[in-house]
Amino acid sequence: MSVPFIDLKRFEDGITEQYTAKVNEITKNTQFIGGKEVEQFENSLKTDNSVEFAIGCANGTDAIQLALRACGVGPGDKVLLPDLTFWATFEAVVNVGAEPITVDVDLQDLQMDFFLFQEAVEKFKPKAAILVHLYGWTSQYVYEFRKYAKEKNVLLIEDGAQSYRVKVNNESIYKNAYISTISFYPAKVFGAAGDAGAVLTNSKELAERVRSLGNHGRELHYSHGLVGWNSRLGNLQASYLNINFPYLNNRIQSRRRIAERYRNDLKEFQVHTTPGLKSLDGTILKSSKTGIQIEENGYLNVILIENAKREKLIEHLKKHQIGYGIVYPEAVSEQKGAKPYLKHKIGGENAKRITQSVINLPLFPYMTEEEYEEIIKVMKSF
């Protein structure tokens, strides 16, 4: 029996019908740009995350660029980011003309190392930093990052592309961020029918700048106060996201259940998670140094295994037709594309070590019992 790494086709009955009806309606009205679907979606985002402002945009990469530009980050400015993240975080910094500096990650939670971050702030005096919430959880120091950044006047942008419905002390991870970004790429936990993204903030001023930048710097239809670009969220995408919103709870529950079962059933492997993680029954698995309680969204399963063994495990999984991922195979600072832009990095080689030892097992909503048991059987026979 084969099990895919991810199967986007496991969505609930009725979604295609609802979407087809919306496509018909929107096409008849030719209301493709802007309109009530986008408005409804932005309102749902605000309510769901207890933030003041939500602005839809074209994708998660643009969302970071919009946030950076709205914060006034541009040529000559230094921006810190973790050495372990999706490449888009780095691209966004370079695309706004700023200078990226990578910060190594913490081996406990695999997120940007807070102590190295402080060191980097002192050493480089950056204008901004991007804190990425990777793997479906966050840093146990997330509050400390925010507090320290504020004290030092470093504009902290949170790349929450992977962290929809991650909760910190029972609140949305996005709630108390200065400005945060989301991706609705179909393979994220909350996926659109194509590309889509959003920026969330509690600042009216930032929200207005984001909205204007993503709509040709508009003040009025033909009055342009800024040079932005076109990064609008389309009405069709928004309608698909609106239709999917009510199903999100079930999907996240399904993901979290699988994530938790992996931890319980694969004790001989190092199924990784963050200190402070709250399991489904409310217990804290490994207490955090900061006392924080983190609820995961089950975005990815993360296993760390020594490199030589990983090669063998990959062979074994391939032989038994079990899908797997390597998220990510290279640290940001090791990427060929980073060379022309990366003048400084801080910390050691933790990110590199993780890339050499990480492997991800299948994790998607509505995985069947048979599929799950097959994965466990194959893993136990390794």
Q: Please give the residue ranges that form the binding site for ligand PLP (CB under 6 A).
A: 59-61, 85-86, 88-89, 132, 159, 161-162, 183, 185, 195, 197
- The minimum distance between CB 90 and ligand PLP, in angstroms, equals 9
Residue ranges in the chain assigned as alpha helix (H): 15-29, 36-49, 60-70, 87-95, 114-124, 142-151, 204-213, 235-244, 248-265, 307-319, 350-357, 369-380
**Residue located via tokens 């009510």:** 246
Plot region of 148 (φ>0 → left; ψ -120 to 50 → alpha; else → beta): alpha
Minimum distance from residue 248 beta carbon to ligand PLP (Å): 17
Q: Nearer Cβ to ligand PLP, position 196 or 206?
A: 196
Residue whose CB is less far from ligand PLP, 117 or 185: 185
- Nearest CB to ligand PLP, comparing residues 185 and 372: 185
Measured from the CB atom, the residue of 164 and 372 that comes closer to ligand PLP is 164
CB of 84 to ligand PLP, least distance (A): 10
Q: How far is the CB of 11 from ligand PLP (least distance, A)?
A: 19
User: Which pair of structure tokens corresponds to residue 42?
Assistant: 């932005």
Closest C-alpha among 202, 160, 200, 207 to residue 182: 160
**Closer to ligand PLP by Cβ: residue 163 or 374:** 163
Q: Which is nearer to ligand PLP, 63 or 379 (CB)?
A: 63
- Can you tell me which residue has the tokens 């933030």? 51
Task: Report the residue number, 54 or 161, with the smaller CB distance to ligand PLP.
Answer: 161
Chain residue whose CB lies nearest ligand PLP: 60
Give dist(CA 371, CA 204) in Å, integer.
Answer: 47
Minimum CB separation of residue 136 from ligand PLP in Å reads 10
Least distance to ligand PLP, CB of residue 88, Å: 4
User: First vs last Cα of the chain: how many Å apart?
Assistant: 17
Residue 327 C-beta: closest distance to ligand PLP, Å: 9
Q: What region does 135 belong to: left with phi over 0, alpha with psi -120 to 50, or beta? A: left
CA atoms of 200 and 184, how far apart (whole Å): 13
What is 72-101 written as a DSSP string? T--TT-EEEEESSS-HHHHHHHHHTT-EEE
Element (H, E) at 359: strand 358-359
